[in-house]
A and B are shown apart, each in its own frame.
Chain A
Amino acid sequence: MKKNNIVKGILYAVLVLLVIISFIPFYMMIVNATRTNSEILQQGFTLIPGTALMQNYDTLIQYMNLWRGFANSLFVAVSVTLLSSYFSALTAFGFAVYKFKGKNFLFILMLVLMMVPGQLGLIGFFDLVRVMGLLDTYIPLIIPPIAAPFVVFFLRQYLMTVMHPSLLEAARIDGAGEIKIFHKIGLPIMMPAVATMAIFTFIGSWNNYILPLVVLFSPEKYTLPVMMGALRGSQVAENLGSMYLGIAISVVPIMVAFLFLSKYIISSISAGAVKE
């Protein structure tokens, strides 16, 4: 028993070390965000915060309004999540409930194209968006995720296992239309699976870099990742303290949100993987 405790002690020490490794880059970031450029350059590494936070903030905000990027990213990610969830549920319901001609073909087509890497159509997508006059708008970021094959696939599989046709029959006998049935019965049944997928959709959209990079031009429309990229080439990069602060602003709110949502997010990831 005693030996077991020593082993456990060592194991916990290793785990704590891993925690430190996971966290120390963020800690360096936060500390450096409060120091002046010359402090960072001259005094090197320290665990003690400095006093230049406001000064760094002023420098940063003078060139780049990161809060704006935050708002933009939030707008895009929320829109994408809602649209993608709703339309994927609709499509999954269509595939799961009805037997129509060509259904299998369409479903397989969707599955095959699910395997295609997102960058394959990038050049054509860019050209299409340009011709449509939609460059520098959010439409090319928000509308295409309506067609999310993986989400449809996942929801359809879920629906097949949990839904009894008798439920629908009962509703039809009550005189409900098909759309109403979807809203009244299909959607609520799928809700747990929709929520799981919504988290992935949101994180994916929030982190998306290459698409907004290619599509957006005006800095005031930049999403957060693109704004972070632009930070590097901007005057902010002259001041390491402000640079760290800029990164911190993009990171800390996510950390805080995660504090409250971690349990939910982790169980979603677990569910997403096992249901495969």
Chain B
Amino acid sequence: MKKLDNYGYMFIVPFFIVFITFTIYPILLTFYYSFTNYNGMGDPEFIGLANYSRLLTDSYFYSAFYNTMYIWGINFFFQLSIALLLAILFSDIRLKMRGLNFFRAVFYLPNLITIASVALLFGILLGWHHGTINHLLMDLGIISSPINWLNDPTTARWSVGLIGAWMWFGHTFIILMAGISGISKDYFEAALIDGANRWQTLVKITLPLLKPIMLYVLITSLIGGLQIFDLPMLITDGTGAPQGSLNTMVLYLYNQAFRYDNYGYAAAVAYGLFIITVIFSVITFKSMYRSNVKEG
């Protein structure tokens, strides 16, 4: 048996060779570059903590963080509330809504489309004087003059956030439905027999039991949201305009590295992003743990 166990190494060796080469080494290399002044040509020049002290006082990095959270916040709020309402609706045993498979599929569809295509599509649909969405809204009489959606910080952030929600609510809906179908039907039937109304069923049974899966949605959405790049990159041609309101953290990293050739500083930005991600993950895990303890 002992001998056989050495086969374990053989099974995991390919993974770790690739993992060390293409994941761990680049992370360490990036860490090294974050202490250097490096423009992609020649040798990196070691400059100690200069990049990090710049990062701490860099208002663009903070605004990139703010933008990222703003966009994610809108995205997550609408994504989760629509998905939750849908999930509650379809799980109501008194209503017996039909067509779950159909609706699930249609709502999920936007999630499957390449984000680059979605960005391009909304980039031109949301055009100002010649955008189809403005044309439609004006035809319907909802607005009287065209709105320059992508040229005002507020409407631009809301646009990107809502596009995100549009892309993801179907996905979240599926996950919540999966969570609900994991709840035994007995709970609902017992509640029905006990004469609990809809609201009581929702608050006492559905929501508490959905809590773990909602936290799962929260964490995955947050980690993904902190890395939002494709949409703002393609909608603003990488500039993060208007007024840098769509300049997200990864777009900032990309521009510093690949547009302005400040690889050293971009590496520090990457680590800044990493630290923020760690902090958020820890907070989320902690709060999840604490609330579990309270209930238990």
Contacts and interface: CB of A to CB of B under 8 A. Distances in A.
Interface residues of A, number: 93
A15 B103 contact: yes
B132 A113 contact: no
Interface string A151-187: 0100000000000000000001000001000100000
B14 A146 contact: yes
Nearest to A18: B107
What's the dominant secondary structure at chain B's contact region?
helix
Contacts of A60: none
Interface in B57-111: 82, 86, 89, 94-95, 97, 99, 101, 103-110
Contact of B11 (A7, A91, A147, A274): A91
Contact of A123 (B121, B130, B181, B266): B266
A90 interface: yes
B135 A45 contact: yes
B103 A19 contact: yes
B224 to A, nearest CB: 9
Nearest to A274: B178
A121 B116 contact: no
A209 B4 contact: no
B104 to A, nearest CB: 6
Given A18-B107, A45-B132, A122-B253, A258 B114 contact: no
Contact of B23 (A45, A95, A147, A152): A147
Interface size of B as a range: 35 or more
A191 interface: no
A210 B119 CA distance: 14
A27 B226 CA distance: 31
Contacts of B230: 209-210, 225
B191 to A, nearest CB: 18
A95 B30 contact: no
A61 interface: no
B27 A232 contact: no
Nearest to A270: B178
A22 B8 contact: no
B10 to A, nearest CB: 7
Contact of A240 (B124, B182, B213): B124
B117 interface: yes
B205 interface: no
Given A117-B274, A147-B18, A258 B112 contact: yes
B190 interface: no
Contact of A262 (B9, B30, B105, B171): B105
B171 A11 contact: no
B223 A251 contact: no
A149 B22 CA distance: 13
Contact of B12 (A19, A28, A94, A203): A94
B171 A269 contact: yes
Contacts of A58: none
Contacts of A15: 99, 103
A44 B86 CA distance: 33
B239 to A, nearest CB: 13
A120 B122 CA distance: 29
A106 interface: yes
Interface of B: 4-12, 14-16, 18-19, 21-33, 82, 86, 89, 94-95, 97, 99, 101, 103-110, 112-117, 120-125, 130, 132-133, 135-136, 138-139, 166, 170-171, 174-175, 177-179, 181-182, 213, 216, 223, 226-227, 229-230, 233-234, 237, 250, 253-254, 257-258, 263, 266-267, 270-271, 273-274, 277-278, 281
Given A144-B18, A229-B120, 18 more contacts: A11-B95, A11-B97, A19-B103, A91-B12, A94-B9, A115-B281, A116-B277, A120-B27, A122-B30, A124-B25, A147-B15, A147-B16, A225-B114, A232-B237, A240-B124, A255-B112, A270-B178, A273-B179
16 contacts: A19-B107, A22-B109, A22-B170, A29-B125, A44-B132, A44-B136, A90-B15, A91-B14, A99-B5, A113-B23, A119-B273, A124-B27, A127-B26, A147-B23, A225-B116, A233-B237
